[in-house]
Amino acid sequence: MVLYLMGLAFCVYGPEKAFGQEPFPPLSGQLAWEDAMLGHWSRRKELAERGITFLGVNQTMGFGAVAGGIKRDFDYTNRYVHQFHFDLEKLFHWKGAEFFVSGAQNNGDNIGDDVGTPYNPSTLFQPESTRLWQLYFGQFFFDKQVHLKIGRIDANNNDFAYSPFEFGYASAAYDSAATAMFQNYKGFGGEPIAQWGARLAIQPNGRDDYLRLGFYNASPPIFVGPDALSRPSAHGLDFRFRPGDGAVYLAEYGYRLNQDPEDLGLPGTYKIGFILDTSPFDRFDVPDKTKRNLWGVYLQGYQLVYREGGQGQGRPPLSYQGLGLWGSFGLHPDQEIAAFPYFLSWGMNYKGLFPGRDDDVLYFGNYYSFNSKYNPGNLETQFEASYMFQITPWLQIGPDLQYVIRPSGTGMIDNALLPGFQALASF
């Protein structure tokens, strides 16, 4: 089983889920607002007690293409996300029910165009727009062991092929689904794009494994074509539902090792997933022909291999301070329609490497992306290192360095060096 870091970075839900504090994402859309910059506001606490919480997250990245690539340039990207969660049990005594809505505003330019890689060095980039993001109803069943959400959903956000590298690595190759799923599937979306869908999560009490099943509308597609859901003019309000033209089916099974407070062993998370997209895809081997039913599997895993101080000694019962190893592998075998049939990534993260900086995180990663045999080129690889300073509970900032070898895999573009920075604040 390859290794994949689980829970060692910020999640879009806020500062409570910093590196190592939340190894498994919540089933519901509950927001961690208490440690945000304005979390001390008394009125906010009163609203939370009544069942209304909100959280704003502002993330910024800037990178310079200083060597190689297509051209020299510096590009800045920014995304502001605001989220609202309504606990319908507190508000209306509807047991186990919730309503969630979020929106996003994107600004900035595309550094990926300067490098020539399909994996944008700034995962934040989307065309400038203000848009509705997620809008869904959620319901718990069977003593919160089963959770269903239905509506406008982001398939990747905390659900399938989830990566907690949201605010650690900057490259889109690691952030979000680190298995080339955005680059291959028309109907697999990511921040801040949502589509009609439903997700069922089964997480039995007293067990360390879980199962998730999902169905998502893939027509219009997420990123491809003039009517893509990501187009700025739609503002997230394209509500067309055409599952007959394309749908995405997802399943994921995972196992969480040593993640109960009383466990003394080193924690880890391992999972396997399956995806099927029934959309029509252009064939690479036969021009002007299409083919449906692109499928794939992915493996992801993480293992903490060294924990500073062990359990106790003033640390939380489940401490992630120390060194973790991770990895992921994506297999999308139909090379007639899969642009990147094989994708492998691995890396390591160290939380609290330096004395007195227990919440800082050092990241290192490396990926290998293989082109379809019907397309030019063969292999692109990349290395990335970053260090995120935890300035306050609500603010992170740090430098980042990326080196892309054979951008696009063709060998026609020089290796690219990209120094840059990341910053995140929650409100």
Q: Which two tokens stand for residue 18?
A: 């910093």
The SS3 call for residue 380 is strand
- Which residue ranges form the domains of the chain, and what is each CATH number? 15-426 (2.40.160.180)
pLDDT at position 17, please? Answer: 37
Model confidence at 156: pLDDT above 90 = no
DSSP label of 354: S
**Cβ neighbours around 412 below 10 Å, total:** 11
Cα 365 from Cα 345, distance rounded (Å): 7
Cα 28 from Cα 19, distance rounded (Å): 20
Strands (DSSP E) contained in 393-413 are 395-405
Residue 329: pLDDT band (50, 70, 90) is very high
Model confidence at 299: pLDDT above 80 = yes
Model confidence at 215: pLDDT above 70 = yes
pLDDT at position 281, please? Answer: 94
User: 47 has which bridge partners?
Assistant: none
Strands (DSSP E) contained in 308-341 are 322-331
Radius of gyration of the chain (CA): 21
Phi, psi (rounded to 5 degrees) for 128: -60, 125
Q: What is the pLDDT of residues 226-251, one digit of tens each?
A: 788 888 889 999 998 887 789 999 99
pLDDT at position 20, please? Answer: 34
Looking at per-residue confidence, does 224 or 204 come out higher?
204
pLDDT at position 175, please? Answer: 66
Q: What is the pLDDT of the chain when averaged over all its residues?
A: 87
Residue 178: pLDDT band (50, 70, 90) is low
User: 367 has which bridge partners?
Assistant: 345, 382
Average pLDDT estimate for 187-204? 90
Residue 289: pLDDT band (50, 70, 90) is very high
Model confidence at 151: pLDDT above 60 = yes
Closest CA to 359 of 388, 316, 390: 390
The SS3 call for residue 112 is helix
pLDDT at position 165, please? Answer: 57
pLDDT at position 34, please? Answer: 85
Average pLDDT estimate for 112-120? 94
- Point out the least confidently predicted range of 40-54, 197-211, 257-271: 257-271
Q: How many helices (H) and strands (E) does the chain have?
A: 4, 19
Q: What is the pLDDT of residues 42-73, one digit of tens each?
A: 899 999 999 999 999 999 999 999 999 999 99
pLDDT at position 102, please? Answer: 96
pTM > 0.85: yes
The torsion region of residue 108 among left (phi > 0), alpha (psi -120 to 50) and beta comes to: left
